Amino acid sequence: MFENTSSPTPGRTPGGSEKPTDSANMANKKIGRLKWPLALVLFTLVQLAVMAGLFNRVELAMYDAWFRLQGVRDPGERVVIVAMDEASIQKIGPLPWPRSTHARLLEALSEARVVGFDLVFDVPTDPTEDEALGIAIAEHGRVILASQFAFEREPNGEVAQVFQPPCPEIMAGVAGLGFVNMPTDPDQVVRRVTTVDVNTFEVPFPSLNLAVTMAALGMDHTQLEVSPRRLVFGEREIPLDEMNRAMPCFWGSQGAFKTYSCADVLNGVLSPDTFKDRIVLIGPTASAEKDNYPTPYTGSNMVLSGALPTPGVEIHASAVQSFLDGRWYREVSSVLNLAFLLLAGMLTVLVVSGRGPWVGLGGTLSVLLAVSGTSFGLWWYARLWLNVAAPVVLVFMTYAALTAADFIQAEMGRRRTRAMFSRYVSPDVVEELMESPAEVMLGGRRQSLTVMFCDIRGFTSYSENKPPEEVVSRLNEYLTAMTRVIFNHGGTLDKYLGDGLMAIFGAPVYYPDHVQRAIMAAVDIQKEINILNRKWVEQGQQPLNIGVGINSGSVLVGNVGSPERMDYTVIGEDVNLASRVEGLTKTFETLIVISERSKHMLDEADGNSVPELSYLGHAQVKGFTEPVGVYTI
């Protein structure tokens, strides 16, 4: 008998071929190591897209979404609008109205703290009309008129900024001037207002809304200070961008501010006390005047949402109210946006990697909630605009990439497991392992199972004087039959041992009846060898006898070897005892010997499916101080 109970040759399957675990293990580790670099690559790609402006419009839309999420709010009635609306046009006549009409309007607004016209009176009209308006402006004493900047191409091809003030006939008594140019973002939505112009005059020239605010606060242009990204007047400090634009608060879409019709003011429906100490802005709101602009509150379907474009005069009112309240929004620095993007990516790696697609998806949604909540919280409480679209995209990309990487890693693990076990367990067991990979005991684990050793009696004498090809052919036929029987009973072929083999029952998939399975496999081995012997005798060949030894106990089962070369096997005292028990088949002149340890486990498991075992006696075996009790069947 060729006996080998030591650790198997690392890295070789029971059939003697190298296991395919090496490249799979290396590939798995490589994929695991690549997860953080992969996340870094995704972060870099998204950041490059941010720098290229690919997220600009989406970020603008998210900024608008925060306004709509907070809902429409009441700005109060400190700033009101006298609208040149459709009702006024129907009653007074089409625009432009005679300037005497505006003069009458100022008389009715005599109690207002400040009146600002969102109209540019830059072209003289009838002298009488101009004179009437000029007198009314002077008598009121707190009127701010609008000017504007036009852009014209000069003969040399350069574009020049041209200042267009009100005509001199009405300028004598004005309290101040301000330009009404309204900047829009690339999507044609107004989110910012230009506060001052520093290109035309030696001193900063204010916008209409700033000029109105300063007049209401009793300040003049000498108290206006502009520095890089900052506007200061009095105790108020306004954050600016590089183009001197600020981001005001918006209270709603069209109609958020208290609005009165010009016709009602002119016809005496409203008393002058209605406007006492209020800041009044006069301007067109009729849609035909085309002075309406989308704002953050304007919906994509304006009719269904009821969020119509906002008249320019109401945008000026929002800016005036923002000046008074100090409610201005500010974009965070690109460095902070980059750090937030990196943090979102890192959090996603931590909650996704190795956790499976559904748990990873839950973690991803949690990260998305945290990202969105942080962005909205900063916007709400600190009025800071932190990018959210780019982090959201990065979170989804990271989830998809890492889930794909985990899937590839898991698939490689499944293939490795299949390749590892398919040669020495039955296909049914392999499929069970695929369905329950946790049952695979890799890396060494204590397990109670049954070990079987089989050996051909007299094989050495049989093989003498015979061609090696004949010996190998018969040996293969015998081993194939034995392996089939072991597989049929859920056993695992551990290794071939020359003319014998070693098998285990209860690993890698654990069966509570592993002792019964081993014993019934031993019985069927004898039946199978009897069938083969009849065939061989008919062929004029010598029959063979197979000795089978069985022992049960706690052993270490799993991958044994080095990280480069591993073998799935069992190690322990009970493995050695199983080999010694197989040797006792000669001593007791029987073909199946079962240790008392297996018998005790069989009795504890109430193994009624196994025929009664017969006691053979006790025998001293090499390596054990106490005699071992054995049985047969």
Q: How far apart are CA 183 and CA 205, in angstroms?
A: 16
Q: Is residue 413 part of a domain?
A: no
Q: Both tokens of residue 174?
A: 């004005």
The C-alpha atoms of residue 516 and residue 490 are separated, in whole angstroms, by 11
Same domain flag for 129 and 197:
yes
Instruction: Tokens for 39, please give them.
Output: 């996340």
Residue 26 domain-assigned?
Answer: no
Contact residues for 557 (Cβ-Cβ < 8 A; gap 6+): 441, 444, 445, 446, 447, 449, 504, 507, 508, 568, 569, 570, 571
With respect to residue 479, please indicate whether it lies within any of the assigned structural domains: yes
20 within domain boundaries: no
User: Is residue 453 a part of any domain in this protein?
Assistant: yes
Tell me the angle at which helices 514-538 and 596-604 cross, rounded to the nearest 10 degrees: 120
Residue 11 has what pLDDT? Answer: 35
- Displacement of CA 472 from its chain's centroid (Å): 59
In tens, the pLDDT along 187-228 reads: 999 999 999 999 888 889 999 999 999 999 999 888 889 988
For residue 175 the two structure tokens come to 């309290």
Statement to judge: residues 360 and 374 lie in one domain: yes
**CB 396, CB 89: distance < 8 Å:** no
Among candidate residues 345, 377, 407, the one where a domain is terminated: 407
> What type of residue sits at position 486?
I
Identify whether residues 79 and 43 lie together within a single domain.
no
Q: For residues 216 and 131, state if they share a domain.
A: yes
118 and 184 assigned to the same domain:
yes
Residues in the chain: 633
Say how far residue 309 (Cα) sits from the centre of its chain: 35
Tell me: do 316 and 251 sit in the same domain.
Answer: yes
Any residues with CB less than 8 A from the CB of 262 and at least 6 apart, and which?
82, 83, 84, 85, 88, 92, 105, 282
Q: 375 and 464, same structural domain?
A: no
Tokens standing for 510?
Answer: 């654990």
Assess whether 370 and 442 both reside in one domain.
Answer: no
The pLDDT of residue 467: 87
Number of domains, the chain: 3
Q: Which residues of the chain have pLDDT under 50?
A: 1-27, 301-304, 441
Name the DSSP letter for residue 96. Answer: S
User: Do 203 and 339 sit in the same domain of this protein?
Assistant: no
Is there a domain that residue 279 lies in? yes
Does 4 reside within a domain? no
Residue range of the domain that includes 279 = 71-331
Contact 147, 122 (CB under 8 A): yes
The per-residue pLDDT for range 369-390, each reduced to its tens digit, is 999 999 999 999 999 999 999 9
Q: Are residues 380 and 448 in the same domain?
A: no
Angle, CA 575 vertex, CA 570 and CA 579 arms, to 5° = 135
Q: 496 near 15, Cβ under 8 Å? A: yes
- Phi then psi for residue 424, to 5 deg, are -140, 20
Q: Would you report the helix, strand and coil content of the chain in percent, each value rounded to 5?
A: 45, 20, 35
Please name the residue that has the structure tokens 């794909």: 404
Give the count of beta carbons closer than 10 Å to the beta carbon of residue 341.
Answer: 22
Beta strand 143-153 with 114-117 is parallel
Q: How far apart are alpha carbons 612 and 629 in whole angstroms?
A: 16
Last residue of a domain, one of 377, 407, 437: 407
Together in a domain, 366 and 277: no
Q: Which of 115, 102, 104, 91 is nearest to 275 (CA)?
A: 115
Residue 622 CA to residue 619 CA, distance in Å, equals 10
The CATH number given to whatever domain includes residue 430 is 3.30.70.1230
pLDDT of 238 reads 94
Which of 331, 356, 379 marks a domain boundary? 331
Distance in angstroms (rounded) separating the CA atoms of residues 237 and 415: 65
Paired sense of beta strands 384-385 and 328-331, if any: parallel
| 508 preceded by a cis bond (ω within 30 of 0) | yes
Residue 470 and residue 501 share a domain: yes
Q: Is residue 414 part of a domain?
A: no
